[in-house]
Amino acid sequence: MSTAKDFRDLQDDELAEQIRTARKDIFGLRFQHATGELENTAGMRSAKRTLARALTVAHERGIDTNGIR
């Protein structure tokens, strides 16, 4: 799932789950990068953009994303 249209097609709870998952993925990638285990650093950029798209759609809907962890 990577386009804003894909995120717009989701229900609010599914969108919140995607945000939760994306944040966990980014945390894992940052940890791998810090320990030198991450070979494909372009994945970090892609994951951040995916999270940004999901957060944008959530903000458009008025969903409070601060509580989503």
| Dihedral angle sign, alpha carbons of residues 27, 30, 35, 36 | positive
CATH of span 4-60: 1.10.287
pLDDT for 67: 79
Domain extent listing, the chain: 4-60
pTM of the model: 0.88
Three-state SS at 3? coil
Over residues 4-49, the pLDDT tens digits come to 899 999 999 999 999 999 999 999 999 999 999 999 999 999 999 9
Total Cβ atoms within 10 A of residue 49:
12
